[in-house]
Amino acid sequence: MSSLATAPKVTFARTLHAEWIKLRSLRSTWLTLACLLIVGLGVTGLSMSSAGDDYASATTAERRDWDPTALSLTTYIIAQLIIGVLGSLVVTSEYATGLIRTSLSATPRRHRLLAAKMVLATGIALVAGQTLMFCSFFLGQLILGAQDVPNAALGDPGVFSAVAGGGLYLSAIALLAVGIGALLRATAGAIGTLVGILLLVPALGGLFPSWLHGLVDIWPTMGAAAVLRTVPDPEFPHPWLNLGGMCLAVAAVLAAAFAVQRRRDV
């Protein structure tokens, strides 16, 4: 019997397991995850350190809109960049080292390889993102309580969904980074593009013409990030619909990545 006949079938589970072995063997993976938790919690501590003074000087309207949950979750602004870097590296690291040829030889079905990377990136981002969001929430509320200003409990209305929504939001960002990485195949280009999407466009959002306001509703860090609030934002009254719209946009990027992946030689 030929060796081809006795070779084990390359199933999706095998491909996923192989991708996990490759990713966990990289030092950069663990450094990035450690950076996510350390920097994320550090940002939470620093941003909440002056909350007592801010509340003391707040107006009546500002106190009415006081959202201790959203305050403790502002670390998502930094966390999304770190998660994005990890998502990009899941794809681009192999192109940088040339190991992508080996991976494609072992898994000739390119869509299966990319799908495995997507599942892996989403799973890691979901676990790491939810861990950070819950830790940031509890740390933030502890700091608020120590400063004797209004704080929230996980069982308060809208709090759990806001914290959990933060983890889902970060998972969507990881998927977006995978799609961009697959399209550009270069770490620097993928990260630069992601920074532009997450930071540059929101900064210039006020310059958008009126016919582009619908795009703002689903843009990361703007409409979609409103799920991290418990006090409704008049500009984004339906945050979960906005997050769903962002996920559809991410799906479009991934569809483009699959299409391009099938047509390329490498």
Can you tell me the distance from the alpha carbon of 99 to that of 224, in angstroms, rounded to the nearest whole number?
Answer: 36
Cα distances (Å, whole numbers) of residue 258 to 115, 183, 261, 263:
9, 9, 5, 9
Residue 9: how many CA atoms within 13 Å on its side-chain side? 3
pLDDT per residue as tens, the chain (266 positions): 444 444 456 788 888 888 898 888 888 889 999 999 999 999 999 989 888 888 988 888 888 889 999 999 999 999 999 999 999 999 988 888 777 888 877 777 788 889 999 999 999 999 999 999 999 999 999 999 999 999 999 999 999 999 999 999 999 999 999 999 999 989 899 999 999 888 887 777 667 676 666 676 677 777 888 999 999 888 888 899 889 989 999 999 999 999 998 777 66
Task: Find the Cα–Cα–Cα–Cα dihedral 175, 123, 239, 63, rounded to 10°.
Answer: -120
Domain residue ranges of the chain, discontinuous segments joined by +: 14-263
**Structure token pair of residue 23:** 């990713």
Distant-in-sequence, close-in-space partners of 247: CB < 8 Å, separation ≥ 6: 172
Place of tokens 């969507």: 172
Residue count (the chain): 266
Distant-in-sequence, close-in-space partners of 216: CB < 8 Å, separation ≥ 6: 205, 208, 222, 223
**Neighbouring C-beta atoms of residue 192, cutoff 10 Å:** 15
